Amino acid sequence: MHLIGIDVGGTNFRVGVFSGLDKLFEKRFEADFSALCRTMPDEAQALILSTLATAISEALADFPEAKGIGIGFPGFIDPQSMVIASSPNLPNLLDVDLAGPLSEKFALPVIVENDALAAAYGESFFCGISSLIYVGLGTGVGGGLVLKGAPFPGEHGVAMEIGHLIVEEGGRPCGCGNCGCLEQYASASGVSKSYQEATGRKLPAKAVAVLAAQGDEAAVSAFDRAGATMGRALAHILKVVDIPHVVIGGGLSGSWQLMEQAFRQRLEADLVPVLRGKTNVAVSKAKDSAGMLGAAQLAGNQL
Ligand SMILES: [Zn+2]
């Protein structure tokens, strides 16, 4: 059975066509959703719909036999209606229904799921691990929990919104309205901010990673801070859910080795003794296909 999976990011999105684990098609589209969402909510919805519809049409032209469409979207998705209630990184987006209009247009079932939860499900499917926590380190920090083979969205689609766990009292202001959230430190933008605070220079996280690998003190410290805040947040989460597998994905996971030591130190120190040394933390094996694959499989589950 052929299924279409879409992974939406802040500045681009990717469309894949899958048959089981096999990826038959993949295409990346540039689309600045942050810019689209600076307009009025109705207009933003129309722009997002038309942008996604163009890409779906392209995939369907090659794979007209596709049976369903899954979309991973960065926001709080109502688990019943699949309406995107809001998105901390796309502030103008309110109560947007993508599933209804797209399903009508293409006469196919469409599901919408939080991007990190879709990636968690994709990773679980790819690795055959039935319970895991997925941490997506990208522009922000997303999280997803798969429990005994089922994605766990929570009552309001907010479960595992770990990027907004507060890790620094009175810390940097966040798009969610609070201060000191994990994603202000452990995301690509967080690493960039830590480096800028120390040096006055604004560099993208990728450039900070290059400097850190060369031993630059401020850059090393920016990644240490990302790792330590992650370790603190994960220790809290593991004490709540006691899941043995944690998967690190997202664009910044390519620099995981730069934050891993600080992460493990903080995690082990903060955990209760019975959990120390028992958490398997690894970089995503489905890599940047996890979100598309998970969204596609979740669509397939509805059939
Ligand atoms: Zn926040």
What's 51's domain CATH number?
3.30.420.40
Considering only CA atoms, which of 146, 108, 143, 152 is closest in space to residue 129?
A: 146
Q: How far is the CA of 141 from the centre of ligand 1 (A)?
A: 9
How far apart CA 103 and CA 53 sit, in angstroms, is 10
Q: How far is the CA of 233 from the centre of ligand 1 (A)?
A: 13
Closest listed residue to residue 238, CA positions, set 180, 291, 160, 181: 160
State in Å: Cα 84 to ligand 1 middle. 17
Do 252 and 142 share a domain, yes or no? yes
Mark whether 169 and 222 lie in a shared domain: yes
Question: What's the CA gap between 192 and 170, in Å, rounded?
Answer: 19
140 C-alpha to center of ligand 1: Å?
9
Tokens of 178: 């609070």
- Note the pLDDT of residue 9: 85
Burial 127-152 (b: 16+ CB within 10 A, else e): bebebbbbbbbbbbbbbbbbbeeebb
Whether residue 92 is found in the same domain as residue 162: no
Query: Do 268 and 161 share a structural domain?
Result: yes
Q: Total structural domains in the chain?
A: 2
For 100, the 3-state DSSP assignment is helix
Q: Looking at the structure, tell me whether residues 112 and 211 fall in a common domain.
A: no
User: 231 and 250 share a domain?
Assistant: yes
Kindly give the distance from the C-alpha atom of residue 184 to the centroid of ligand 1, in angstroms, as a whole number.
8
Q: How far is the CA of 249 from the centre of ligand 1 (A)?
A: 19
> For residue 11, what pLDDT is reported?
79
pLDDT at position 33 is 78
Among 52, 91, 95, 47, residue whose Cα is nearest residue 72: 52
Sign of CA dihedral 289, 291, 293, 296: negative
The confidence score (pLDDT) of residue 93 equals 83
3-class SS of residue 95: strand
Kindly state whether residues 202 and 294 are assigned to the same domain. no
282 residue type, one letter: A
Closest CA to 70 of 14, 138, 148: 14
If you measure from the C-alpha of residue 88 to the centroid of ligand 1, how many angstroms do you get, rounded to a whole number?
A: 7
* pTM for this predicted structure: 0.94
Rounded to the nearest angstrom, the distance between the alpha carbon of 162 and the centre of ligand 1 is 9
Residues 91 and 204 placed together within one structural domain of the fold: no
Q: How far is CA 84 from CA 50, 79, 90, 102, in A?
A: 16, 9, 11, 14
CA-CA distance, 140 to 162, in Å (whole number)?
A: 10
In this structure, the answer to whether residues 136 and 257 fall within a common structural domain is yes
| Helices 41-62, 99-106: crossing angle, 10 deg rounding | 40
pLDDT for position 12: 87
Going by C-alpha positions, the residue among 189, 251, 196, 178 that lies closest to residue 226 is 189
Task: Show pLDDT as tens, one digit a residue, over the chain (303 residues).
Answer: 999 999 998 778 999 999 999 999 999 999 887 777 676 667 888 889 999 999 999 999 999 999 999 999 999 999 999 999 988 777 778 899 999 999 999 999 999 999 999 999 999 999 999 999 999 999 889 999 999 999 999 999 999 999 999 999 999 999 889 999 999 999 999 999 999 999 999 999 999 999 999 999 999 999 999 999 999 999 999 999 999 999 999 999 999 999 999 999 999 999 999 999 999 999 999 999 999 999 999 999 999
What H or E segment, with its residue span, contains residue 73?
Answer: strand 68-73
| 70 Cα to the center of ligand 1, angstroms | 26
DSSP 8-state assignment for residue 285: S
Q: How far is the CA of 138 from the centre of ligand 1 (A)?
A: 14
Q: Where in the sequence is the domain holding 39, given as residue range(s)?
A: 2-121+288-301
Query: Is 113 found in the same domain as 32?
Result: yes
Residue 280 sits at φ, ψ, to 5 deg, of -90, 105
Q: How far apart are CA 231 and CA 228, in angstroms?
A: 5
Interacting residues of 206 by C-beta distance below 8 A, sequence separation 6+: 188
**Domain identity same for 248 and 140:** yes
**161 CA to middle of ligand 1, Å?**
9
pLDDT at residue 98, as a whole number: 94
Tokens 């933390």 correspond to: 281
Kindly state whether residues 137 and 274 are assigned to the same domain: yes
Separation of CA 293 from chain center: 13
